[in-house]
Every structure is written in C-alpha cells, then in structure tokens.
C-alpha cells in the first residue's frame, strides 16, 4: 500500500478539546500515513513536528480530511486554491449537504479511503472580480454562492445585471444571490430559488425579496460572464463569498462573476444519491 499524505483540517469550535482530532491522527499514524496538520493544531495536540505552513499543507497533501460541517468544507475548498486536492468531509454539524460521512462512521470511511475504495466527485466553483474605477480591487472564489446584499439599515438596493455584455435585468430589492448547483440548496433555496442537480454546470441567479413580482430566478450557462453593476447610492451594501468572506461595495462598482478555473473535488465513499441526501436533510431541517 502506497504511503498517503493526509492533511487533517479541523474546525476547533466543532471538536471540543480536539478529542476527535487526536484520535484520528493517532489512527492515521498507526496505519503508516504521513499526517499533515496546521501548526497551531499540531502544537495543541503535542505533535508539533506534524505542523506545516498553510501553503505547504495543500502542496504536500494527497487528500484533505475536513472535520466540521458544511461551513468547514466551504472554508477548506477556498483555502486550498490553486492546489485542488480531494476532500473527505466528516460531519460534526447539523445540516451536512456537502460532508460525506457522519463522525461516528469516520474510521470506516477512512479505511475505505486508504484502500482506494472511493470515487471522486467534481463540483464547479465561481470566481468574482470586483472593480472600482476600472481597477481590480478584490478577487474571491466560492463553492456555494456570491451574494450582494443590503446592510441592516440600508434601504432597497438597485443592481443592474448583464450577461455577456447584454442587459438582463435591473433588480431592486434586498440583494442578489449568484450560486452554483451546489449552492442551490443553501441561501438561494431560502430565497425561493430552485434546487439544481449538483453535477450540472450552470449559474443560478436569485433575487432576495425583489421589489417587483416579475423578478424570478434565472439560470444561465456556466460559460457566460455575469456582470453586476452597483447602481444603489445607499451605504452598507456588501458582497460575500459563501457567507464567509467579503467586502463592502460602493455605487459604481462592477462585479464580474464567472465559472472558476478550478473545480472542488470531493471523496465519495458511500453510494448515496443526491436525492437520498436531499430528502433526509430537508426533513431534518424542517423538523
């Protein structure tokens, strides 16, 4: 069996006192794996020699094991760019659409990983480029969505949208969600957008509380370029990627959203269909 380089990335708010992390690292070392950890985590569990800088983690790893929930997966997926490595998500959270396995089945899943008994599933990502006075000021990537929303005290905001330089619509409301198929079961779903099969390659545009009843979700091809112009003069308009990273945008700013040049790769251990997971998670969410 080839010696594997496995990076363990943990959400410390989910693993109290790093109890599961310690157990997992011990298990991997006993199976002759090279374990790669963040420096702070390695020191915390008394294995400082396993600590690595951020870039080295993703350079060296063959596989990434993420301990947490969907939010942890989103974070890891963005952090590893441009070193795209397959991710095995271990669910510690409540609603795991992206995570592959619940933590009680973690070692069974890892045994299959070490024996190469798995498949790789690819998911498209988005890239957002924010321009101010024709200067690129920020570039963000997302697995779920790019959102432009008003602040708590802001009034209705106005967003002009173009697809491949052709005017699509001017939205007036609380904002706009631009999502991947993976993100269709996240914020977009809460805003009334459709559920999209995750292996499709499309970009989904969903308005948030639109002022006009004619405004509805629109699906465009993944090769299209979506441009959003900030028309609103109000302060407190924000752009966020996966609800985790972002910045305040201003009147006159332009946001170009395209399919990212990188896919996310997920390790699939169990032969569960998207619909099986969907029904289970939606039932949990509604109960």
- Catalytic-residue membership of 70: yes
Q: Nearest 5°: phi and psi at 30?
A: -70, -20
Distance CA 67, CA 63 (A): 13
Q: Token pair 């910045």 is at which residue?
A: 247
Residue 199 CB neighbour total at 10 angstroms: 12
Distance CA 242, CA 143 (A): 7
Could you give the 3-state DSSP secondary structure of residue 81? Answer: coil
8 Å CB contact between 255 and 148: yes
CA end-to-end distance (rounded Å), the chain: 44
For residue 246, the number of C-alpha atoms closer than 13 Å in the C-beta half-sphere is 18
Catalytic entry in 15, 56, 70, 117: 70
| Active-site residue list | 70
């Amino acid at each position: 069996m080839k010696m594997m380089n496995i990076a363990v990335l943990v959400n410390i708010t989910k693993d109290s006192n790093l109890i599961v992390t310690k157990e997992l690292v011990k298990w991997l070392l006993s199976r002759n794996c090279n374990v790669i950890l963040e420096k702070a985590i390695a020191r915390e569990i008394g294995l400082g020699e396993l600590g690595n800088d951020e870039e080295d983690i993703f350079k060296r790893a063959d596989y990434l094991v993420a301990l947490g929930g969907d939010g942890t997966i989103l974070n890891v997926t963005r952090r590893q760019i441009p070193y795209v490595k397959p991710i095995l998500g271990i669910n510690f959270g409540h609603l795991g659409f992206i995570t592959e396995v619940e933590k009680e089945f973690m070692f069974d899943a890892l045994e299959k990983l070490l024996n190469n008994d798995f498949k790789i599933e690819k998911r498209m990502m988005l890239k957002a480029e924010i321009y101010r006075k024709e200067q690129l000021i920020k570039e963000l990537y997302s697995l779920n969505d790019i959102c432009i929303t008003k602040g708590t005290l802001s009034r209705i905001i106005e967003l002009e949208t173009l697809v491949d330089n052709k005017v699509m619509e001017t939205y007036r409301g609380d904002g706009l969600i631009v999502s991947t198929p993976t993100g269709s079961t996240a914020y977009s779903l809460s805003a009334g957008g459709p559920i999209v099969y995750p292996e499709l390659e499309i970009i989904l545009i969903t308005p948030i509380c639109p002022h006009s009843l004619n405004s509805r979700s629109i699906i465009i091809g993944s090769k299209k370029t979506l441009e959003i112009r900030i028309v609103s003069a109000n302060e407190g308009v924000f752009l966020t990627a996966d609800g985790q990273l972002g910045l305040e945008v201003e009147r006159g700013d332009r946001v170009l959203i395209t399919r990212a040049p990188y896919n996310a790769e997920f390790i699939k251990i169990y032969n569960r269909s998207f619909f099986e997971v969907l029904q289970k998670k939606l039932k949990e969410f509604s109960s």
